[in-house]
Amino acid sequence: MKKHIIGVDIGGTKIAAGVVTRGGELRCKVVVPTMAEVGVDTSLGQVYMSIRDVLKAGGFGMDQIEGIGVCAPGPLDQDKGVVHNPPNLPGWKDVPLASLIRKKFRKSTKLENDANAAGMAEAIWGAARGFKHVFYVTVSTGIGTAVIIDGRIYHGKNGMAGEGGHVTISHDAKGAACNCGNIGCIEAMASGPSTVKHLLKKLKKNPRRKTCIIDMAGGDPDKVTMVTVGKAARKGDKVALETIAEEGRLLGIWLGSMISILDPEIIVIGGGVSLLGNLLFKEIRRTIPSRTINIYARKTPVVQAKLKKDVGLLGAASIFME
Ligand SMILES: [Zn+2]
């Protein structure tokens, strides 16, 4: 009988579980609310339920399952399988998630943080398929990264490696306080919300600049997101185009440094902001070569992620393939 893997992607608001083949094909999927606000026991119950439900939904038996891969927001200890205290899973404190699931379902279970898992899925099944040294980036509400060396996630001494989003790129960035407590992290400079914040500040300073961005958000500056900016840019809005170019420039400066350290074979960029496509990527590619000592950087492919909305699930499953 063909063995499959269950991938479970735990987020702050919902849990997605899927049955995935070794070839990376998602055979069936369920989504349940996390209910983190009710307490850790309830949300653990939701995790178990998602696993039972996905088996039932796809008509699979546990004997067809090789193991369970779980991804959750960090900080977590992938070696021990313990989730420490993620800001968006309130009430979760040092939860031994992998061993709880292992005992409950009597299946080998592995835990990984969401950015690392997504990077692994791209390396095995996605845009970096066939590459061994991969730098993966996800740009959305934050910036997460994964460092893959020789086909394996690099974890460092304490399992805390690969937090590229918290590399400082501006030492005195006023107004760029990061959620991690530092200032001037690339996440605080170039994530989706950071870019929008910067844009709105600029418009406030210069209210006569013509742009359709605010109108496109229904006249409410608080409703502006990078999706709005992307739409405006495609209509030729100069402010929107400038905003995306500036975000690309910052990401390019940062990626130049990442290339100097890692000399990766390929850089894969996913997350909502990557859907801006070439408007963003051309600026990133243009900036990188002048920001690294690596003479081959110009040839390092910088590509859009291939696995879109199910990357969390596939990521969770992919850590079994590592
Ligand atoms: Zn930070």
Q: Give per-residue pLDDT as tens, 291-321.
A: 999 999 999 999 999 998 899 999 999 998 8
Which chain residues have CB less than 5 Å from ligand 1, an ion? 166, 178, 180, 182, 185
Cα 178 to middle of ligand 1, angstroms:
4
Residues 70-87: tens digit of each pLDDT? 999 988 999 999 999 888
49 pLDDT higher than 80: yes
In CATH, what number does 4-121+310-318 get? 3.30.420.40
Give distance in angstroms: CA of 183 to centre of ligand 1. 7
Centre of ligand 1 to C-alpha 164, Å, is 9
DSSP 274-286: GGGTHHHHHHHHH
Q: Provide, rounded to the nearest whole percent, the portion of the chain with pLDDT above 70.
A: 100
Q: For strand 14-20 and strand 82-83, is the pairing parallel, antiparallel, or unpaired? A: unpaired
Question: What pLDDT does 174 receive?
Answer: 84
| Nearby residues of 50 by Cβ (< 8 Å), 6 or more positions away | 8, 15, 16, 17, 30, 31, 32
CA 203 to chain centre: 29
Cα(181) to ligand 1 centroid in Å equals 6
Q: Is the pLDDT of residue 146 over 80?
A: yes
Question: Cα of 180 to ligand 1 centre, how many Å?
Answer: 4
Reported as a pLDDT band with limits 50, 70 and 90, residue 163 is: very high
4-121+310-318 shares its CATH topology with 130-304: yes
Question: How confident is the model over 109-115, as a mean pLDDT?
Answer: 96
Q: Is the pLDDT of residue 24 over 90?
A: yes
Burial of 243 (0-12, 13-18, 19+ CB in 10 A): buried
- pTM of the model as a whole: 0.95
CA–CA separation, 269 vs 138, rounded Å? 6
Q: How far, in Å, is the centroid of ligand 1 from the Cα of 185?
A: 5
Task: Specify the pLDDT at position 260.
Answer: 98
Is the pLDDT at 322 greater than 90? The verdict is no
N- to C-terminal Cα separation, the chain: 22
CATH of 130-304, one of 1.10.10.10, 3.40.50.1010, 3.40.50.620, 3.30.420.40: 3.30.420.40
Would you place residue 125 in the very low, low, confident or very high pLDDT band (cuts 50, 70, 90)?
A: very high
pLDDT at 173: 85
Kindly provide the residue ranges of all beta strands, DSSP E only, lying in 102-239, ordered along the sequence: 109-113, 134-139, 143-149, 152-153
pLDDT of 64 higher than 90: yes
- The closest alpha carbon to 70, from 17, 115, 29, 14, belongs to 17
DSSP-derived pairing of the beta strands 26-33 and 14-20: antiparallel
Distance 179 CA to ligand 1 centre (A): 6
The proportion of the chain whose per-residue pLDDT surpasses 90, expressed as a percent, equals 92
Mean pLDDT computed over 27-38: 95
Q: pLDDT band at residue 202, thresholds of 50, 70 and 90?
A: very high
User: What ranges do the domains of the chain cover?
Assistant: 4-121+310-318, 130-304
1 confidence band (pLDDT: 50, 70, 90): low
